[in-house]
Amino acid sequence: MMRAMALAAFSLVSLQALQPFFVPASYRSGSLPTQPPQVAGGGDVLLEVKVGLDGKVIQASTLRDTPPFTELLVEAIRLWRFAPAEQEGRAVESAVLVAGLFRPPTLMGPTAGEPRRDVGTATEEIPIPYSAATPNYPPAALTDAVVLVEALVQSDGTVKQARPVRSVAGFDDAATKAAIQWKFRPARREGRPVDSLAYIVFGFRQPVTPTIAPTEPN
């Protein structure tokens, strides 16, 4: 807990030092969706989330849709709370990227499930991933899990640091290692690239392997 708090403070101090005129909204609280066990596939979701002066979510616009994960993620973030963005020391409305990447419950081969669809266009205010690494399922893990990672996206689109803000023991390392590998079109303010925060929900399903029926001898 102390380490996570220290990393959070470092993230905000880094942003304030680099761009003191604007500090983005940062996650404070809120539950995560549960991966439905009946869904055989995985999926990814991109949302542009509008955050108000009081830190409450005003609106969530879908940019990339994979049913049923989109609906589950939108429902969860409606009750999220943020520290509001600040412009020159005053609270302002802002937009935040929330991404969801949900692993399928298979180790290899094709899976069932709905295909993803790009259904919206983001504003320049948020970073948008163009390369998203999928985390490995931890070999010692024996359950499903959902982890929320905060990523500090630099003005060149790379992730400077990542930390779990909703943690699950045994899964945090895989989630943060994947987030560090993501590449983004950076956020822009007043026409120039800026550092920003992005929030990535990683869903892990315990892998299953297909059962191969024994063959009858000739």
Confidence (pLDDT) at 190: 87
Rounded to whole angstroms, the Cα distance separating 203 from 32 reads 10
pLDDT tens by residue, 47-82:
999 999 999 999 999 999 999 999 999 999 999 999
Confidence (pLDDT) at 11: 59
- Extents of the domains making up the chain: 2-204
Rounded to whole angstroms, the Cα distance separating 207 from 183 reads 27
How far is the CA of 117 from the CAs of 31, 40, 188, 197, in angstroms? 25, 18, 25, 24
Confidence (pLDDT) at 25: 96
The answer, yes or no, to whether residue 136 has pLDDT greater than 60, is: yes
pLDDT tens by residue, 4-22:
444 455 455 556 555 558 8
Pair 137, 103: CB distance under 8 Å? yes
For residue 30, is it left (φ>0), alpha (ψ between -120 and 50) or beta?
left
Selection from 160, 155, 163 nearest residue 127 by Cα:
155
Q: Which of 86-95, 113-122, 144-153 has the weakest average pLDDT?
A: 113-122
Q: Which of 94-108, 131-145, 194-208 has the weakest average pLDDT?
A: 94-108
For 2-204, CATH gives: 3.30.2420.10
